[in-house]
Protein backbone atom coordinates (compact mmCIF):
# COMPACT_ATOMS: atom_id res chain seq x y z
CA UNK A 1 0.00 0.00 0.00
CA UNK A 2 1.45 3.37 -1.00
CA UNK A 3 1.68 6.26 1.40
CA UNK A 4 -0.28 9.17 -0.08
CA UNK A 5 0.49 12.66 1.22
CA UNK A 6 -1.36 15.90 0.67
CA UNK A 7 -0.15 19.48 0.82
CA UNK A 8 -2.79 21.96 2.00
CA UNK A 9 -0.52 24.97 2.62
CA UNK A 10 -2.36 28.27 2.08
CA UNK A 11 -5.70 26.44 2.27
CA UNK A 12 -8.40 26.74 4.92
CA UNK A 13 -10.45 23.78 6.11
CA UNK A 14 -13.64 24.20 8.14
CA UNK A 15 -14.74 21.20 10.16
CA UNK A 16 -18.06 20.97 11.99
CA UNK A 17 -17.98 18.76 15.06
CA UNK A 18 -14.18 18.80 15.04
CA UNK A 19 -13.38 18.78 18.76
CA UNK A 20 -13.63 15.02 19.31
CA UNK A 21 -13.68 11.65 17.58
CA UNK A 22 -13.61 11.44 13.80
CA UNK A 23 -13.96 15.22 13.42
CA UNK A 24 -10.90 15.80 15.60
CA UNK A 25 -8.86 13.36 13.54
CA UNK A 26 -9.99 15.06 10.32
CA UNK A 27 -8.95 18.44 11.75
CA UNK A 28 -5.58 17.07 12.87
CA UNK A 29 -4.99 15.54 9.43
CA UNK A 30 -5.64 18.86 7.70
CA UNK A 31 -3.32 20.62 10.18
CA UNK A 32 -0.61 17.99 9.64
CA UNK A 33 -0.88 18.66 5.89
CA UNK A 34 -0.37 22.42 6.43
CA UNK A 35 -3.93 23.76 6.27
CA UNK A 36 -5.35 26.45 8.48
CA UNK A 37 -8.20 24.83 10.38
CA UNK A 38 -11.39 26.32 11.80
CA UNK A 39 -13.64 24.15 13.96
CA UNK A 40 -17.15 24.65 15.29
CA UNK A 41 -18.24 22.34 18.08
CA UNK A 42 -20.38 22.35 21.23
CA UNK A 43 -17.52 20.95 23.30
CA UNK A 44 -16.18 23.07 26.16
CA UNK A 45 -12.76 21.48 25.52
CA UNK A 46 -11.49 23.10 22.31
CA UNK A 47 -9.10 21.40 19.95
CA UNK A 48 -5.84 23.27 19.32
CA UNK A 49 -6.41 24.73 15.85
CA UNK A 50 -6.22 28.08 14.08
CA UNK A 51 -9.76 29.06 15.11
CA UNK A 52 -12.13 27.29 17.48
CA UNK A 53 -15.74 28.44 17.78
CA UNK A 54 -17.92 27.01 20.51
CA UNK A 55 -21.39 26.74 19.07
CA UNK A 56 -24.22 24.48 17.97
CA UNK A 57 -24.71 23.99 14.22
CA UNK A 58 -28.46 23.83 14.88
CA UNK A 59 -28.33 27.50 15.97
CA UNK A 60 -28.62 29.76 12.91
CA UNK A 61 -27.01 32.72 14.70
CA UNK A 62 -24.02 30.58 15.75
CA UNK A 63 -23.51 29.52 12.11
CA UNK A 64 -23.81 33.11 10.90
CA UNK A 65 -21.29 34.31 13.49
CA UNK A 66 -18.91 31.41 12.72
CA UNK A 67 -19.09 32.01 8.96
CA UNK A 68 -18.44 35.72 9.50
CA UNK A 69 -15.39 34.99 11.61
CA UNK A 70 -14.02 32.59 8.99
CA UNK A 71 -14.44 35.22 6.30
CA UNK A 72 -12.73 37.87 8.48
CA UNK A 73 -9.86 35.66 9.64
CA UNK A 74 -9.18 33.61 6.51
CA UNK A 75 -11.01 35.33 3.65
CA UNK A 76 -13.22 32.26 3.22
CA UNK A 77 -12.86 28.51 3.21
CA UNK A 78 -11.40 26.09 0.70
CA UNK A 79 -12.83 22.93 2.27
CA UNK A 80 -15.94 22.33 4.35
CA UNK A 81 -16.24 19.04 6.18
CA UNK A 82 -19.74 18.64 7.62
CA UNK A 83 -18.93 16.13 10.33
CA UNK A 84 -21.28 17.33 13.09
CA UNK A 85 -24.55 15.50 13.37
CA UNK A 86 -27.65 17.59 12.90
CA UNK A 87 -30.76 15.46 12.90
CA UNK A 88 -34.25 16.84 12.88
CA UNK A 89 -36.10 13.60 12.41
CA UNK A 90 -33.70 10.72 12.28
CA UNK A 91 -30.84 9.79 10.01
CA UNK A 92 -33.11 8.85 7.13
CA UNK A 93 -35.32 11.97 7.30
CA UNK A 94 -35.71 14.35 4.40
CA UNK A 95 -33.25 17.21 4.43
CA UNK A 96 -33.47 20.18 2.08
CA UNK A 97 -30.97 22.72 0.86
CA UNK A 98 -32.25 25.29 3.34
CA UNK A 99 -31.12 23.01 6.19
CA UNK A 100 -27.40 23.47 5.42
CA UNK A 101 -26.99 26.85 7.15
CA UNK A 102 -23.87 27.86 5.17
CA UNK A 103 -23.26 30.86 2.97
CA UNK A 104 -19.64 32.06 3.05
CA UNK A 105 -20.10 34.20 -0.07
CA UNK A 106 -22.13 36.98 1.61
Are 81 and 13 in contact by the 8 Å Cβ rule? The answer is yes
Continuous segment of H or E residues that includes residue 8: none
Q: What is the pLDDT of residue 76?
A: 95
Residue 82: CA count within 13 A, CB half-sphere: 10
**Sequential pLDDT tens for the chain (106 residues):** 567 777 899 999 999 999 999 999 999 999 999 999 999 999 999 999 999 999 998 899 999 999 999 999 999 999 999 998 765 555 545 555 455 544 555 4
Q: What is the pLDDT of residue 105?
A: 53
Each domain of the chain, given as residue ranges in start order, spans 15-86
Question: Which ranges of the chain does DSSP label H, i.e. alpha helix?
Answer: 21-32, 60-74
Q: What is the pLDDT of residue 28?
A: 96
- d(C-alpha 92, C-alpha 49), whole Å: 32
Q: What is the pLDDT of residue 97?
A: 47
Q: What is the pLDDT of residue 85?
A: 74
pTM value?
0.77
Amino acid sequence: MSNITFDYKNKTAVITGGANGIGRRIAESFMDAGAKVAVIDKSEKPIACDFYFRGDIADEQALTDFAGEIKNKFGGADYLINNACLSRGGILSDCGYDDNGWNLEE
